Amino acid sequence: MASGGGGGGGEAVEEGTTTRVGDLPEACLADVIALTSPRDACRLAAVSPSFRAASESDAVWDRFLPPDYRAIAPLPPAAAAAGGGKMRMKKGVYLGLCDKPVPVDDGSMMVWLEKESGAKCFALPARKLSLPWEDGEFSWRWTPHPLSRFEEVAQLVDCTCLDIYGRLPAAALTPATPYAAYLVFGTAAAAEGHRGLSFPDQETTVSAGGRVVARHAVCLRPDDAEARKFRGVGLAGAGVPVRRPARRGDGWSEMELGRVAADEVAGAGGDDVVASFEVLGWYPKRGLVVECMEFRPVV
């Protein structure tokens, strides 16, 4: 830019150089990106080559992995990226924990990561749940199931009192994250059938630190004809809307049992988060197939 003044021969003033964000050292970019989320990191990788290098660095993905990830999955060799190059090791570990649940505690539980947030998810198999045993081992039958992630599931043979509990230490959940609990279930084959699962006298609760934080009326196998015979009991009898199950892509059904807020999880301290399903009526029931109970972050 020329200086002002008459005539010619003004001195030229040298333009100042501009530093762009992408010109910052990779370590600086990585420190900033690590403060975002896995989803944001993947988006930022498309900004420029320097952002891509920083977004895929181990420094970033180590922050997204849970502190105890080495106990969940050992470090594998760096995985090959889709484009033919090499994916950084920590990102490969992260994606591996998102894509496939990992058995832990000698297979008594499965853990994986929710892909967008990195929060831990848990599946407690039927063997780890509290099931009613009013008739001893004749109440339930333990059997393999072709759709199950576990060696066996629990099939209800016959009972009148049905309540199912699952518990997880609050400290195991990802901090500052709300969670929901789900009962993952099916029903026996048509030849055996099911009974006593269609009345809306079913309730769920979720408690944290011994305090109930959620309670809902539900029905595992809604049947309008059966519901018309129902005489009001519990929440459904008080006019509370009855929740219905959702069909999953893996062939199972799931019923949301309730949610626990992040501050409620923190307030539980060293206690457990407990989720339960209960049928209030005392009448014959059979045919319920329980695969597991899941605790997943609310996204």
Same domain, 120 and 245: yes
Same domain, 114 and 211: yes
pLDDT at 1 over 50: no
The confidence score (pLDDT) of residue 13 equals 46
Note whether residue 6 is domain-resident.
no
* Residue that wins the pLDDT comparison between 198 and 7: 198
Instruction: Please report, rounded to a whole number, the percentage of residues in the chain having pLDDT higher than 70.
Output: 81
User: 86: pLDDT confidence band, cut at 50, 70 and 90?
Assistant: very low
User: 168: pLDDT confidence band, cut at 50, 70 and 90?
Assistant: very high
Note whether residue 149 is domain-resident.
yes
State how many domains the chain has.
2
Same domain, 293 and 202: yes
CATH number, domain of 174, equals: 2.60.120.260
Contact status, residue 55 vs residue 33, Cβ threshold 8 Å? yes
Alpha-carbon separation of residue 45 from 21, 57, 150, 226 (angstroms)? 14, 11, 37, 55
Same domain, 135 and 95: no
- Mean pLDDT, residues 56-64: 92
Q: Phi/psi at 23 (nearest 5 deg)? A: -85, -10
Three-state DSSP class for residue 142: strand
| Nearby residues of 16 by Cβ (< 8 Å), 6 or more positions away | none
User: 82: pLDDT confidence band, cut at 50, 70 and 90?
Assistant: very low
Mean pLDDT of the chain: 84
Looking at 99, 133, 153, the residue that finishes a domain is 99
Identify the weakest region by mean pLDDT among 39-48, 83-92, 170-179, 281-290: 83-92
pLDDT at 149 over 90: yes
Note whether residue 269 is domain-resident.
yes
- Residue 16 sits at the vertex; the CA angle it makes with 11 and 22, to the nearest 5 degrees, is 160
Looking at 57, 82, 99, the residue that finishes a domain is 99
Looking at 81, 99, 117, the residue that finishes a domain is 99
Same domain, 230 and 190: yes
Same domain, 91 and 112: no
pLDDT at 220 over 80: yes
Residue numbers of the domain that contains 35: 21-99
Note whether residue 5 is domain-resident.
no
Note whether residue 95 is domain-resident.
yes
- Mean pLDDT, residues 273-299: 93
| Range 189-192, long-range pairs (CB < 8 A, 24+ positions) | 192/286, 192/287
